[in-house]
Amino acid sequence: MRDVAIIGAGMTRFAKHIDRSMKDLAREAVDGALSSAGVEKTALEAVAVGNAMAGLITGQECIRGQVVLRDMGIGGIPVINTENACASAATAFHLAWLYIASGMYDVVMAVGMEKLFHEDKQRSFDALGSAIDVELMQQTLASMDEAVGNDGAGAGKSRSLFMDFYAGLARDHMHKYGTTKEHFAKVAAKNHTHGSLNPHAQFQTPRTFQEVLASPMIADPLTRMMCSPIGDGAAAVILTSSDFAKRFTNKPVYVRASVLGSGKDLVPNAPGITERVGHKAYEMAGIGPEDVQVAEVHDASAPAELIICEELGFCQPGESGKLMDDGVTALGGRLPVNPSGGLLAKGHPVGATGVAQIAEIFWQLRGEAGKRQVAGAKVGLTENGGGMLGGEAAATAVHILTV
């Protein structure tokens, strides 16, 4: 397998882009990535395109990548469409990496894109709710409503049903380890503060943990600011072999690990999917969690960040609240997590998130992250999960990047 490098990245602002098409959003991200890399679109040998919800939101199915790329004059090369819930773009990146690592191609682009806003908000909730076993949908909704004391008008109706999954995980963590709502509020406040430094972020207003706690309750103990928003946007990165990268830049960022896994039936006390995939990524990269200097993780809710930090080995189980109390994961701390603002503030256009995380780490490792720059970062990690089956993510990808 060959060494793989990233040489360029582009991204739209994540936001409510009602008047912009998927083609328009993808074009901005692709043009940005090509310009950043100094590569002409004619140099591309293949493209992997991640998208999760277009079929349910816009009606575009089957050939989503070909549709957006042809509109910008990219065609005649392999275009792979990946749909893997919130891990769709990370899956596209994994395939692009594999194309390069295998020696098949020298220049490949990975794109993530999503249009999740719709005038009928229920349509957006229904689309998000499709990332579970739909044959068990009613049973799942009933069990979640009962757990939080609702009358059936909650999960999947007035909010994304995934917030109820996360609320359950939060309550379990609180019961087992003594984690508090204040810890979750501190995560959200940290990420909103980080997002205020990111011109690509959907929310760019710093928040205090008191403001987070005072925001409306969504699913106990999660308030609105502890939950990732619906959003639209796109991101793209250009990958090459490490030797080929030298033709374009003296600041390549190397992909030291690219691992994709899927959920399985849980065994009591056995490692979950994030821990399993993370362990494989550390082995592939030849490093440990103590070597990571900056991370972007899938904080679809505030407690998710704390749990993921434990699963990735950034701290021992039950100690993630202390990471927050001690400022370890904030900018200026020992291990900044989600300096982009994360899903909570940067936003979560589902099919774009995985590549957007990678773009952030690419900029961080090149020293190009502006006001949110992590000083001296040389090793970065991304973790992106998608869907839910049997109590854990249906798909999870972990990538480790270095300079």
Give the model confidence (pLDDT) of 81-139 as tens digits.
999 999 999 999 999 999 999 999 999 999 999 999 888 878 888 888 888 888 876 66
The count of domains in the chain is 2
How do residues 2-39 score in pLDDT, each as one tens digit? 999 999 999 999 999 999 999 999 999 999 999 999 99
Is residue 393, in this structure, part of any structural domain at all?
yes
Q: Are residues 201 and 164 in the same domain?
A: yes
Distances (CA, A) of 380 to 57, 257, 386, 401: 33, 11, 21, 5
Annotation marks residue 309 as catalytic: no
* Global confidence as pTM: 0.94
Q: Would residue 297 count as lying in a domain?
A: yes
Q: To the nearest whole percent, how much of the chain has pLDDT over 90?
A: 84
Q: Domain containing 42: what range? A: 4-118+231-255
Same domain, 32 and 81: yes
For residue 98, the domain's CATH number is 3.40.47.10
Active-site residue, from 86, 227, 309, 315? 86
The single residue listed with the structure tokens 């900044």 is 336
Token code pair at residue 226: 């502890």
* Digit-coded pLDDT (tens) for 161-204: 788 889 999 999 999 999 999 999 999 999 999 999 999 999 99
Cβ atoms of 106 and 39 closer than 8 Å: no
CA distance 3 to 323: 34
Same structural domain for residues 310 and 387? Answer: yes
Same domain assignment for residues 242 and 308: no
Residue from 118, 173, 200, 348 carrying the catalytic annotation: 348
| Inter-residue contact 29 to 53 (CB < 8 Å) | no
Q: Is residue 128 part of a domain?
A: no
- Is residue 159 very low, low, confident or very high in pLDDT (cuts 50, 70, 90)? low
d(CA 136, CA 138): 6
Question: Which residues on adjacent β-strands are paired with residue 296?
Answer: 382
| 219 and 330 in a common domain | yes
Q: What is the dihedral of CA 97, 363, 306, 258, to 10 degrees?
A: 10
**Nearest partner of 353 among 192, 174, 113, judged by Cα:** 113
86 is known as an active-site residue:
yes
